[in-house]
């Protein structure tokens, strides 16, 4: 069984956003004042487990738990444990801001997770605090250490903003090389209306970052080593294992090889990060006559709604009003 959309793309990767809440307020992700979802609107751990099972039965081989911050939700570890047991699932991953890893890294590994993404936008405490509005860099560095000690493979994610942290890209790469971690730099996407900065004014392309890096490092391009490498394009520095990735939604459209869909905390299946095409899976999950077959059928038919590509325009009001914490990055 495989999920195939109307453009012939196979969907084998699903991201589940288990909460819209977070203990940080990154300036590119959220507005300063946010209204979060009432709890009854958010899917239960059982409902997320049923969804995960349905997707895997439909040929999905990779699930990622994200948010919001997934580790602020009680029950996330239980969900990972449930999903980790699904026959047919090849990869169970997590994206986190790292603040709760000292507490949970071992439990995450024991649930069957091998790889995690940790967001890290600066190595300067004050700047980190400013970018996250109240984050403590030391907490995240301790989280990275705990994840390493638990044997988890780590990729750092950094959203590069021209006047905030773009100058730190070489330092972040050096940190990744020293610690033996992968790192990806992401072009900011216009998701949700923020007041902190103009998205166009902060835009810095992946090519600019790579040029900056090539003054200090000899970067060697890597062929996409995984079938599911997705939107990242990777480079390596001679003598180091770390992969240096660039996710370039503006400068290098990656929609042609898109293999993923997302489910929001309310059970809305989003067929594309940059479009509103979606179906309400919660209705199906909470229907009186709920059946696994009906849920699977709805997922299969939803594939026909997956758009060909996203169109982002940084100079206009955001077309997509939902914030990244809703979308599940
Ligand atoms: N809280 C977790 C974290 O920060 O890793 C998981 C959720 S967060 C929404 C997932 C990823 O989306 C993070 O790497 C974050 O940097 C990225 N992100 C958030 N808003 C973004 C935006 N507007 N453009 C590009 N990436 C964004
Ligand atoms: Fe929270 Fe992650 Fe969004 Fe930052 S990027 S505010 S850590 S959900």
Per residue in 34-57, pLDDT (tens digit) is 999 999 999 999 999 999 999 999
**pTM for this model (two decimals):** 0.94
Nearest residue to 93 (alpha-carbon basis) of 64, 52, 62: 64
Nearest residue to 327 (alpha-carbon basis) of 132, 189, 205, 197: 189
Ligand 1: atom nearest CA of 325 is 9
Q: Which domain holds residue 20?
A: 3-327
Residues with pLDDT less than 50, the chain: 226-227
Q: What is the pLDDT of residue 227?
A: 45
Strand partners, 279: 269
Pocket test of ligand 2: the residue of 72, 97, 158, 160 to mutate, having most ligand atoms within 8 Å of its CB, is: 97
- Report the CATH number that the domain containing residue 82 is assigned in CATH: 3.20.20.70
Tell me the ligand closest to 70's alpha carbon: 1
Please tell me if the CB atom of residue 97 comes closer than 6 angstroms to any atom of ligand 1.
yes
For residue 133, report the distance from its CA to the centre of ligand 2, in Å. 10
Nearest residue to 103 (alpha-carbon basis) of 62, 69, 133: 69
Instruction: State the residue for tokens 């599911």.
Output: 228
**Helix, strand, coil share (%) of the chain residues, nearest 5:** 35, 20, 45
Q: What is the pLDDT of residue 319?
A: 64
Domains held by the chain: number: 1
Please state, in angstroms and rounded to a whole number, the distance separating the CA atoms of residues 204 and 85.
Answer: 41
Q: What is the pLDDT of residue 310?
A: 73
Please tell me if the CB atom of residue 27 comes closer than 6 angstroms to any atom of ligand 2.
no
């Amino acid at each position: 069984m495989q999920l195939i959309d109307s453009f012939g793309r196979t969907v084998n990767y699903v991201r589940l956003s288990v909460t819209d809440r977070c203990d940080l307020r990154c300036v590119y992700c959220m507005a300063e004042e946010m209204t979060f979802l009432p709890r009854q609107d958010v899917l239960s751990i059982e409902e997320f487990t049923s969804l995960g099972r349905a997707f895997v039965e439909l040929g999905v081989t990779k699930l990622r738990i994200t948010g919001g911050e997934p580790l602020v939700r009680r029950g996330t570890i239980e969900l990972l444990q449930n999903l980790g047991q699904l026959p047919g699932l090849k990869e169970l991953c997590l994206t986190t801001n790292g603040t709760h890893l000292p507490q949970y890294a071992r439990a995450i590994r024991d649930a069957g997770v091998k790889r995690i993404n940790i967001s890290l936008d600066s190595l300067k405490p004050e700047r980190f605090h400013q970018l996250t509005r109240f984050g403590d860099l030391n907490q995240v560095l301790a989280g990275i250490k705990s994840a390493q000690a638990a044997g988890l493979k780590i990729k750092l994610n950094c959203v590069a903003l021209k006047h905030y942290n773009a100058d730190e890209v070489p330092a972040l790469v050096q940190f990744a090389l020293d610690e033996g971690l992968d790192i990806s730099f992401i072009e900011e996407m216009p998701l949700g209306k923020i007041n902190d900065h103009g998205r166009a004014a902060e835009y810095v392309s992946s090519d600019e970052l790579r040029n900056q890096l090539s003054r200090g490092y000899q970067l060697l391009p890597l062929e996409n080593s995984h079938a599911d490498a997705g939107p990242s394009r990777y480079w390596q520095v001679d003598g180091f294992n770390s992969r240096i990735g660039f996710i370039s939604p503006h400068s290098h459209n990656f929609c042609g090889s898109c293999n993923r869909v997302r489910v929001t905390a309310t059970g809305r299946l989003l067929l594309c990060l940059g479009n509103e095409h979606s179906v309400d899976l919660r209705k199906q999950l909470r229907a009186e006559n709920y059946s696994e077959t009906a849920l699977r059928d709805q997922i299969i038919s939803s594939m026909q709604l997956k758009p060909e590509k996203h169109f982002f325009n940084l100079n206009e009001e955001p077309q997509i009003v939902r914030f990244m914490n809703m979308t599940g990055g």
